[in-house]
Amino acid sequence: MTDELVPKDLRREYTKEEILERAKKKDPLAEQKYKVINHLRSKGYITRVSLDSTEFLRLHRKGFRPGEDRTYYLLKVVDEDWSANINELREALDFAGRLRKELVIAVVKGNRPIFMKISRTNFE
């Protein structure tokens, strides 16, 4: 029954490159996100897309599956030539804070991602 709903030209297996090319049409950071997710997965972490259709990924603690434990980090993948805008960082920190998550920025240099944990500190 499902074969009837899928057009004939879509009933084939796609290569990784074809899938990435299609994803790049909607998301210019698709290749960087793939590299980050692939790296984290090889280390035993589970990532999921954000539930509210933002650019964030949810990262679960190592060794836990979704549903067993809560998400601890919101991961934002940025381009290699990204420059930090204070208002953009503040909005991302506020968003992560509302969800009670820690914010992590990921930059892909070559094939290896670099992770930066961003937090807010008060000196009282």
14 found inside a domain: no
70 found inside a domain: yes
DSSP labels, the chain: -HHHHS-GGGSS---HHHHHHHHHHH-TTHHHHHHHHHHHHHTT--EEE-TTSSSEEEEEPTT--BTTB-EEEEEEEE-TT----HHHHHHHHHHHHHTT-EEEEEEEETTEEEEEEE------
| Tens-place pLDDT, residues 71-94 | 889 999 998 888 888 998 999 899
What is the percent of the chain with per-residue pLDDT over 70, rounded to a whole number?
A: 88
Q: Which residue has the higher pLDDT, 71 or 118?
A: 118
72 found inside a domain: yes
34 found inside a domain: yes
CATH number, position 48:
3.40.1350.150
Its domain, for residue 32, covers 28-118
Report residue 1's pLDDT band, with 50, 70 and 90 as the boundaries.
very low
**Lowest-confidence segment of 62-66, 100-104, 118-122 by average pLDDT:** 62-66
Q: How many domains does the chain have?
A: 1
55 found inside a domain: yes
54 found inside a domain: yes
104 found inside a domain: yes
51 found inside a domain: yes
